[in-house]
Chain A
C-alpha cells in the first residue's frame, strides 16, 4: 500500500536534483528495476486501492531510493569514516541496516560505525542500548557508546532527581547533541548520519514557521548540515516516509526498541505531528510537499545564524562565552539547576534562546528530546 503515493510527489522535486547530479548518477550503475507485476505499474498513476507491493520489491525499491538520494546528493565520499547515530529506535536501526547493505552492494567504500549516547536512564536507555549492542553483532558494525556520566559526571536519572521532570528535556537535548559530536570526534569519523525521516523534517518546517524561527527555517531542510562545524551530519532518510521505515523494519523483522523515553512528559503527539498524520491520511504526498516548500522558501541570505565561536570552558562550538552544556552543567554542579533555564543569571547574560523553546513550544512539538532518536 505504502508505495502507491510516491510517484506524484517526487517528480517535480527530483527534476532539479536529477539534472544537477546527472554526472554523479552516471557513475553509479543503476540496477535493473524490480520485475514484480505490482511494481511494474509504478510508472503509471497509481491509486490507493491498488494491490500492495510484493515484499521483495518493496525492499528493493526502498533501498534503491535511499541509494539514489545518497548518490544524487553526494552524501558520502569513498573511504570516508561514517558514524550512524544509533538509538536503538526504528529509524536509526533501519538506517544502520540499509547503509551497511548499500555500502556492500554499491561499493561505497565506507567505514561504518554505530555511535550511541548513554544518557543514563534506567529502564529506558539501558534496554535500548542492549538493542544497539545486538545490532553491532548482527550488522558487524563497531559500536561506540559515549555516556553522560563520563562526559558530564551526571546521568539523566541523577539530573531528574535534582531538577524534577519539568525541564529535563532541555538537558537531554543539549547534552545529547554535544555528546554525539564528542563521540564522533573520538571515532575520528568524517560524518555522522542520522535517522531523521521525511515526517520529522516536515514537522520541523512547520514548527519553525509556528515559532517564527526564520534562520532555522532556512536550514532545516538541508540534507547535510553542520558543514562549517567540526563534523557534518546528513539525513539519508530525508525523503523517506516514517510509514515506510516502520514497514521495512517490520517486514525485515529488524531488532529495534520502541518504548518512549520515560522522562518525556508528553506521551501524546504534539499538534504539529498530529496534523501531519491527519494530512497524510488525506494526501500522503503533503509530507514531501512541505519539504519542497521548505526548500523553496525565498529567504534572504542576510538571515544568518549567530556567529559561531568556541566555548571558553570546553572548546565546543558556541555562539556565546560558554556553550549551553557548560552553562547547564555549572548550574547542576553548583546546585542551581535553573541556571541556563528561564531567566536566572549565568555566565552568559543573554541566554534567552533555547529557553523560549522549552517554555513556549511544548505542546506543539512531539519530540523535545527527539524521542532519543537524535
Chain B
C-alpha cells in the first residue's frame, strides 16, 4: 500500500515520463489543455500546471534564462445549445470552471469557453441541431458529436496560436476505445488513436495520462481536493454504453484486464504521424530523441501516405481506399464526401438514403468539408499505387 505522498509522486511520475519521453511539451510550446470538468482532464490540467510552475521556478532561478517557460491555455467546449441539461446548470458549471482555472495562477492561463456551434462560421446553432438530427443511429450521433468536439478544439487551438492540445485520456478510457473501435470495424485505424502523440491533426494532440487508471485519477482528485464538475456528460448509450459496461465488468473481475487490453492494442503498429513532427526536432533535447529511439519511434521511418475519413479523421483501410478509387471522378461534392468516408462512418453517421446525403452534406461544418476535399483531390493517384496488388490488370483479366 502506498502512502499518499508516494501515490501522488508515482502518478505524477507517469505523467512526466510520458511528457518527456515523447517530447509532448517543450519550452517554446503554447499548450492548450482540453478541460471537460471531469477528473481525468482535471488531473491533466493540474499536472500541466505543476510542470509549468516548476519550469517557471527554474527559469527564475537560472542566471542566463535561456530556456523559456511554455505557455498554457484551457479550452472548454460548451454544448449548451444541444445539451438536454438546463442551461442554468451548465452556466453554473462554467462558473466553477472559471474559478478552477483562475485559481491555478501563476502563470495566468487563458480560458476559452467555446460554444460547440462555433465550429460553423456565422450562427451555426440550427445547422448543428439539424446535422445531429439527420443521424439516426444512437451510437453514430454520439460519435459524430465527439468528432465535432475534436474539430472545435482544433479550430480554437489554431485560431489562438496554440501548437499542442493536451487530452486527459487515461488507460481506462483507452481500453473502452480499443473495444469499441474493434466492434465498429475500425481495427485498421485503431492504433492511430491510442498513442502518446497524434499529429495527424493540424495541431498535434498529446495524451500524457495514457498510463494512468481512472481510479487513480479519481483518487488524486479526492485526496488533493481537486474540484471537478461532473454533471456535463450523460452516460453513453448504444454500442459505446455496452462497451463501457463490458470493460467495467471485466475490470471488476480482474483489475489488470484494462491494462492488458491497452497493452495488446499498444502492440499494433502505430502510424507515421504518431510522433511529434520532424520540424520540431531542433528543440527536442537529445535525451528525448534517444528515448524515442528506444520506444521504437524511428524519426525517419518511411512515411506511408494515408487517406483520412473526413468525418472521424481515421486513416482508411484497404477496402475503403479501393471503393474510393473505383469511384473515379465524382459527380457532386456530396457524392465525393460520402465516398471519402470510412465504412464505419458511412454506416453509423451518413444517411442511408442517397437522396438525403445532399441535405446532410449541406449541414456539415467547414472543417469536415475541407478535410473531404483535401483527401479526394490529393490522394487519388496515390491510392491506386497503394492498392495495386488488389487490382488485376486488364490483360490478366482476359486470359
**Contact A290:B182 (CB < 8 A) given known A271-B250, A364-B250:** yes
CB of B319 within 8 A of CB of A293, answer no
With both chains docked as a complex, state the minimum distance between the C-beta of B224 and any C-beta of chain A, in angstroms: 33
CB of A279 within 8 A of CB of B239, answer yes
Q: List the B side residues contacting A286 at CB < 8 Å.
A: 183-184, 239
Chain B 344-360 against A: per-residue CB contact (8 Å), 1 yes, 0 no?
A: 10010000110000000
**Contact A212:B187 (CB < 8 A) given known A205-B182, A275-B242, A290-B182:** no
Segment from B58-66, B68-76, B107-115, B261-269 that makes contact with A:
B261-269
Q: Which of B245-276 contact A (CB under 8 A)?
A: 246, 249-250, 253-254, 257, 260-261, 263-265, 267-269
- 24 CB < 8 A contacts A-B: A11-B343, A15-B323, A206-B182, A208-B264, A209-B179, A210-B250, A210-B257, A214-B268, A279-B183, A282-B238, A285-B347, A286-B184, A289-B185, A290-B182, A292-B187, A293-B184, A293-B187, A294-B187, A296-B318, A297-B268, A299-B267, A299-B268, A299-B269, A300-B269
Chain B 384-399 against A: per-residue CB contact (8 Å), 1 yes, 0 no?
A: 0000001110001100
Chain A 207-250 against B: per-residue CB contact (8 Å), 1 yes, 0 no?
A: 01111111001000000000000000000000000000000000
Q: List the A side residues contacting B188 at CB < 8 Å.
A: 293, 296-298
B190 within 8 A of A: yes
A19 within 8 A of B: yes
Q: Which residue of B lies closest to A217 (CB)?
A: B264
A328 to B317, CA, bound (A): 44
CB of B392 within 8 A of CB of A210, answer no
Q: Which residue of A lies closest to B396 (CB)?
A: A23
Q: Which residue of B lies closest to A283 (CB)?
A: B239
A13 within 8 A of B: yes
CB of A16 within 8 A of CB of B390, answer yes
B124 within 8 A of A: no
B191 within 8 A of A: yes
With both chains docked as a complex, state the minimum distance between the C-beta of A63 and any C-beta of chain B, in angstroms: 25
Chain B 119-147 against A: per-residue CB contact (8 Å), 1 yes, 0 no?
A: 00000000000000000000100000000
In terms of DSSP, what is the predominant structure of the interface of chain B?
helix
CB of A214 within 8 A of CB of B323, answer no
**Contact A271:B319 (CB < 8 A) given known A213-B264, A289-B344:** no
A295 within 8 A of B: yes
A243 to B397, CA, bound (A): 37
A288 to B317, CA, bound (A): 15
CB of B269 within 8 A of CB of A209, answer no
CB of B260 within 8 A of CB of A212, answer yes
Contacts beyond the supplied A16-B319, A275-B242: 11 A-B pairs with Cβ under 8 Å: A12-B185, A45-B353, A205-B182, A210-B257, A212-B260, A214-B267, A214-B268, A275-B246, A282-B238, A296-B188, A363-B253
With both chains docked as a complex, state the minimum distance between the C-beta of A214 and any C-beta of chain B, in angstroms: 5
B320 within 8 A of A: yes
Q: List the A side residues contacting B352 at CB < 8 Å.
A: 45
B181 within 8 A of A: yes
Partner pick for B317 among A205, A208, A294, A296, CB 8 A cutoff: A296
B322 within 8 A of A: yes
A-B pairs, 5 with minimum CB distance: A293-B187, A289-B185, A296-B188, A298-B269, A12-B343
Q: List the B side residues contacting A299 at CB < 8 Å.
A: 267-269
A157 within 8 A of B: no
A20 to B322, CA, bound (A): 12
Q: Which of B242, B250, B268, B344 has the most CB of A within 10 A?
A: B268
With both chains docked as a complex, state the minimum distance between the C-beta of A32 and any C-beta of chain B, in angstroms: 23
- How many chain B residues sit at the interface, stated as a range, is 35 or more
In terms of DSSP, what is the predominant structure of the interface of chain A?
helix
CB of B260 within 8 A of CB of A211, answer yes
Partner pick for A209 among B191, B239, B264, B320, CB 8 A cutoff: B264
CB of B391 within 8 A of CB of A289, answer no
CB of B390 within 8 A of CB of A206, answer no
B195 within 8 A of A: no
**Contact A303:B267 (CB < 8 A) given known A19-B391, A22-B392, A289-B183:** yes
Q: Which of B183, B250, B352 has the most CB of A within 10 A?
A: B183
A294 to B391, CA, bound (A): 22
A211 to B318, CA, bound (A): 27
Partner pick for B261 among A212, A271, A298, CB 8 A cutoff: A212
Q: List the B side residues contacting A315 at CB < 8 Å.
A: none
Q: Which of A1-39 contact B (CB under 8 A)?
A: 8, 11-13, 15-16, 19-20, 22-23
With both chains docked as a complex, state the minimum distance between the C-beta of A185 and any C-beta of chain B, in angstroms: 35
Q: Which of A45-83 contact B (CB under 8 A)?
A: 45
Q: Which of A149-207 contact B (CB under 8 A)?
A: 205-206
CB of A293 within 8 A of CB of B397, answer no
Partner pick for A298 among B191, B320, B390, B392, CB 8 A cutoff: B191
Q: Which residue of A lies closest to B188 (CB)?
A: A296
A360 within 8 A of B: yes
Partner pick for A12 among B249, B261, B323, CB 8 A cutoff: B323
A350 within 8 A of B: no
With both chains docked as a complex, state the minimum distance between the C-beta of A301 and any C-beta of chain B, in angstroms: 10
A22 to B391, CA, bound (A): 9
CB of B322 within 8 A of CB of A15, answer yes
With both chains docked as a complex, state the minimum distance between the C-beta of A126 and any C-beta of chain B, in angstroms: 36
CB of B267 within 8 A of CB of A8, answer no
A312 within 8 A of B: no
Q: List the A side residues contacting B318 at CB < 8 Å.
A: 16, 296
Q: List the B side residues contacting A294 at CB < 8 Å.
A: 182, 187
**Contact A278:B242 (CB < 8 A) given known A206-B179, A271-B249:** yes
A294 to B22, CA, bound (A): 28
A345 to B390, CA, bound (A): 50
Q: Which residue of A lies closest to B352 (CB)?
A: A45
B153 within 8 A of A: no
Q: List the B side residues contacting A214 at CB < 8 Å.
A: 264, 267-268
A188 to B250, CA, bound (A): 44
Partner pick for A293 among B186, B249, B253, CB 8 A cutoff: B186
With both chains docked as a complex, state the minimum distance between the C-beta of A295 and any C-beta of chain B, in angstroms: 7
A300 to B187, CA, bound (A): 14
With both chains docked as a complex, state the minimum distance between the C-beta of B346 and any C-beta of chain A, in angstroms: 8
A96 to B254, CA, bound (A): 40
**Contact A210:B239 (CB < 8 A) given known A275-B246, A293-B187, A298-B188:** no
B178 within 8 A of A: yes
Q: List the B side residues contacting A8 at CB < 8 Å.
A: 347
Q: Which residue of B lies closest to A276 (CB)?
A: B183
Q: List the B side residues contacting A209 at CB < 8 Å.
A: 178-179, 182, 261, 264-265
A288 to B183, CA, bound (A): 9
With both chains docked as a complex, state the minimum distance between the C-beta of A33 and any C-beta of chain B, in angstroms: 22
Q: Which residue of A lies closest to B185 (CB)?
A: A289
Q: Which residue of B lies closest to A291 (CB)?
A: B185
